[in-house]
Structure 1
Amino acid sequence: MEFKGISFKFVHNPKALKNKKNEFFVQLRITIGRISKYYSIEEVPKVPIRYWSGKENRWVKESHSQGARINSFLISKLGKLNEFLVLSTTSGRILTFDLIKSQFFMKGEVNTLNQFYTKYIKERDFDSTRTRQAYLTTLDTLNEYNSSIPIISISESLINQFIEWERRTKDLKDVTIDKHLTHLKTIVKSLTRDGFLVRNPLENIQFKVRPEKADRTSLSNEEVAKLEKLVFSEKEAHLERTRDVFVFQCLTGLYYKDVQELHDEDILQIEDICLIQGKRTKNLQGYIVPISKRAMLLMTKHKLESDELVFHGLCAEPVFNRQLKVVGKKAGLHKSISNKVGRHTFTEIAIASGIPRSYVSKMLGHTKESTTQHYYDINPTHFINQFIDNSIFS
């Protein structure tokens, strides 16, 4: 095909070379202006000279054992190249040899955003399994929207259509859509860096996404006390341990995964004070938090001398969260409690007690102190604590 000074043509042994088997890869000759370059089609086997006809759509003779398969593949390849040429030309994009090579002749051919995204996840060394799973979730959603998005079609308009589809069809909130958008921007940035795109079409684009602030449910001291007073039967022993671990979270601010990974070596004693010093599983950030007498009793209650883990044999997080719903209902709480509620409870109580933000940030293991600032939004409890002893308001 030839289109505005650009042409593609399959050729075979254009330099009339010779080897023992007298067979060579089929090559694609690309001509831009007056310059031609050749690229081997390595997805199909080498073809002996005697089987090459060079005729359009029947390049390899039918007498070749794989002639039909090779011709079918070449027709498909040419169709993709022609489509790429039309899309590029109509979008005003300048075609270069490097761009065409990156699209069609790199190892592990990548033609779509979905393919590159999949490759990105396989090759990237993520900081945590949680982050990797978040990227996979975005990819699953993208594939549901369109499983074959040509790289050349990536644009502000396409992303806006995807956002609207997520809102209307998937009924997703902007806070979730914003996370997906962050992942897609990272992928498109990598596409540009790797030469699949001449420029980043999403750079400096402000999409109309307004993520709501996360709803950080927390318990009061009185509500935590209700949980601690619960009495369980022998058949409810698993719920008792779930209650204990959750209360331990309320007293230490640890995520459930961090509780699962808590070892003896993470417990330090300096003079008469016991501390937990470790690294969060989420970001490997160090944290340090004092252990109260109540938290120490819970650790002692569930510690097995034969195990280095502080809490032995804890269930998976989804099971833990389901059991917490039962525990909360049993305690008569009107709030839905989960793993994160324990951490939020600890944070709210620490702030209300007047602990400086820098210390709260260190106890929570936040990478940036600005993350901790989100917890300092004025709420009724903090407001009352600031003015309750002020004579002006007495």
Structure 2
Amino acid sequence: MGISVAVKYNWRKEINKSDCYQIDIRVTINSIPQYYKVEVPQKVPSRDWSGIAPTWVKNSNPFSFAINDSILKRLQQIADLQTRLYVQGKKLTFFHLNKELNFKGNRKSFNDYFKNYVTKPPEEVVLEPGTWEKYRSFIGHLDNFNPNLRFDEIDVEMAARIRNFLTRQPGSKPGTKLAPSSIKSLFDKFMVVLQHAATIDKLIDRDVVESIIKKVTIVVPDRQDGLHWDVVEIQNLKKIPASALLPSQIRDRKLFLLQIYGSWYYRDLFYMSRWDVHKDHEFGMYVAGARSKNDQPRLVPLWKFPGAEAIMKEFEDPDPKSTFWFRRDIFVESQAYNRNLKVLADMAGVYRDVTNKTARHTGMTLMARLGVAYPALKKIAGQKIRDIGRAYIKMGIREIIDATELAQFDRLGI
């Protein structure tokens, strides 16, 4: 790959009355050029331009030292970037250059680094809008804690202070504090960006980050018992007469049941690909593919639930060119969906808090109670298998069939 770097003056060949023009760094990769502006106190008159390093701007210009220094710093940035990428076994691209040279703010400021990470994330990082919103939420808290936290200030003690600050922040309901799970989610975003700064951009020592990971912990209590629905409650939900429901409630009852059958979140339905849905000639419909949240493979035996396939087909997108299985018009904002679920729960005699996440907890609880083996549970849920002793258990369609053989959901009437 051919790479060249050059300092260019008035590369557009402009002509103006002042005869003053800007300076750019031209980087050419595989014969394709791109220009990066050098920030200077003022544009340079042509009479002061020598074009010869290291005094591109002649001493006759009152800002010659500052301008020449800015050019050198730009060139050094590019050289340092090439070195970092070489160590990582990567090739220089315009993506890397744009991220490096168009950085907004102070590179020594973690706040500015975090904001640039969110606005111009690494190429390999693809997250859902809701996840990016959590990143933005964290930087809002960090700005309140310290609007200009420097990298050289970050250590175990500082990370603990940030964690403790989060514990004192108000929750979504009046008079409450952030829940431990919310605190952990926000703090995890802090650690993701901190690790990137250490491993990729070398802005903080990796040992410091490792120490924070080991020593600054957040305890999240186990899920409360009773969040899931039991079999009778699901049966009651199915028994609600359609005549007593609005069309949107009928639709959302079916989607909620489908969530239970597949142990899915609402967004799992939204992002389900057309190519994730399969049908075994002997058993029936199943879903196999990576979850959008974590790219973990899942394999869900929908044939275990007699009503699942009918719901899948009812809401299937009729457009064969659509990459999604479900029609887009069946989905609403999660708040509106949760409101319908609350109404349905009341009618089914369930007076506990209910959200779309309740369905996933319910589905996994039912699977476990009916004896579905642990590796199969993990595969169905699409979760990472952290236990190294179980990490090598391969779960394909045959293994899922065997693991769920004794779990007779059809007999439960749900």
TM range (shorter): 0.5 to 0.7
Are positions 1:318 and 2:335 aligned together? yes
Q: Cα deviations across residues 331-386 of structure 1 (Å, max 9, x unaligned)? A: 22022222221111111111111111111211112232649x9xxxxxxxxxxxxx
Aligned match for 2:110, one of 90, 110, 113: 113
**Count of residues in Structure 1 that have an aligned counterpart in Structure 2:** 302
The answer for the alignment partner of 1:207 in structure 2 is 216
- The normalised TM-score by structure 1 is 0.63
- The 2-side partners of 1:254 and 1:226 are apart by 21
Tell me, in whole angstroms, the C-alpha distance in 2 between the residues paired with 1:301 and 1:169: 44
Alignment partner of 1:44 is 2:41: yes
Write the distance in 2 (CA, Å) between the matches of 1:341 and 1:22.
66
CA change 1:152–1:305 in 2 (3 A) is closer
Provide closer, same or farther for how the CA distance between residues 219 and 324 of structure 1 changes in structure 2, counting only shifts above 3 A: same
Q: Find the aligned partners of 2:218 and 2:142 in 1 and give their Cα distance.
A: 17
- Structure 2: 5+ residue stretches without partners: 1-18, 24-36, 49-60, 70-79, 85-99, 171-176, 391-414
Letter of the aligned partner of 2:299 in structure 1? Answer: I
Q: Distance in 2 between matches of 1:243 and 1:169?
A: 35
Give the distance between the partners of 1:190 and 1:301, measured in 2 at CA.
44
| Correspondence for 2:7 | none
> For the structure 1 residues 133 and 215, does the alpha-carbon distance in structure 2 shift closer, same or farther, using more than 3 Å as the test?
farther
Contact kept in structure 1, 2:364 and 2:377, CA below 8 Å? yes
Q: Say which of 267, 278, 285 aligns to 1:267.
A: 278
Structure 1 equivalent of residue 380 of structure 2:
363
- Mapped partners of 1:273, 1:347: distance in 2: 20
**CA gap 1:261/1:164 in 2 versus in 1, 3 angstroms:** closer
3-state DSSP class of the match of 2:288?
strand
CA distance in 2, matches of 1:281, 1:24: 46
Change (3 A) 1:151 1:44: farther
Distance 1:231 1:368 in 2: 41
Q: Does 1:230 align with 2:254?
A: no
Q: Is the Cα contact below 8 Å between 1:252 and 1:289 reproduced in 2?
A: yes
In the alignment, which residue of structure 2 is the partner of 1:197?
204
1:158 & 1:329 partners in 2: Cα distance?
46
Contact kept, 8 Å, 1:218 with 1:345, in 2: the verdict is yes
Question: Conserved in 1, the CA contact under 8 Å of 2:156 and 2:211?
Answer: no
Q: Does 1:294 find its partner at 2:307?
A: yes
Q: For residue 241 of structure 1, what is the amino acid of its counterpart?
A: R
Overall identity of the aligned pairs, in %: 20
Question: What's the counterpart of residue 268 of structure 2?
Answer: 258
Paired AA for residue 192 in structure 1: A
User: Over residues 203-230 of structure 1, what are the superposed CA-to-partner deviations in whole Å (9 max), with x where a residue is unaligned?
Assistant: 3241253222344721111111111111
| Shift in Å, 1:272 | 4.2
TM-score (norm 2): 0.61
The alpha-carbon deviation at position 295 of structure 1 amounts to 1.4
8 Å CA contact retained: 1:328, 1:337: yes
Letter in 2 for 1:165: F
SS in 1 for 2:279: strand
Q: State the Cα distance separating 1:114 from its structure 2 match.
A: 0.7
Residue 137 of structure 2 is matched in structure 1 by: 137
Does the CA contact (< 8 Å) of 2:233 and 2:349 recur in 1? no
CA contact (8 A) 1:178 1:209 kept: yes
1:345 pairs with one of 362, 366, 373 = 362
Structure 1 or 2, whichever has the larger Rg, is: 1
Counterpart amino acid of 1:211? V
Q: 1:155/1:236 Cα in 2 relative to 1: closer, same or farther (>3 Å)?
A: same
Contact 2:22 2:38 in 1 (8 A): no
The equivalent residue for 1:128 is 127
Q: Distance in 2 between matches of 1:264 and 1:234?
A: 33
How many Å separate the matches in 2 of 1:317 and 1:370?
Answer: 33
Q: Tell me, which stretches of 5 or more residues in structure 1 are unaligned?
A: 1-20, 26-39, 52-63, 78-97, 374-394
Structure 1 residue 141, shift from structure 2 partner: 2.0
1:241 is aligned to 251
AA in 2 matched with 1:112: S
Q: Judging changes above 3 Å, is the alpha-carbon distance between structure 1 residues 139 and 311 closer, same or farther for their aligned structure 2 residues?
A: same
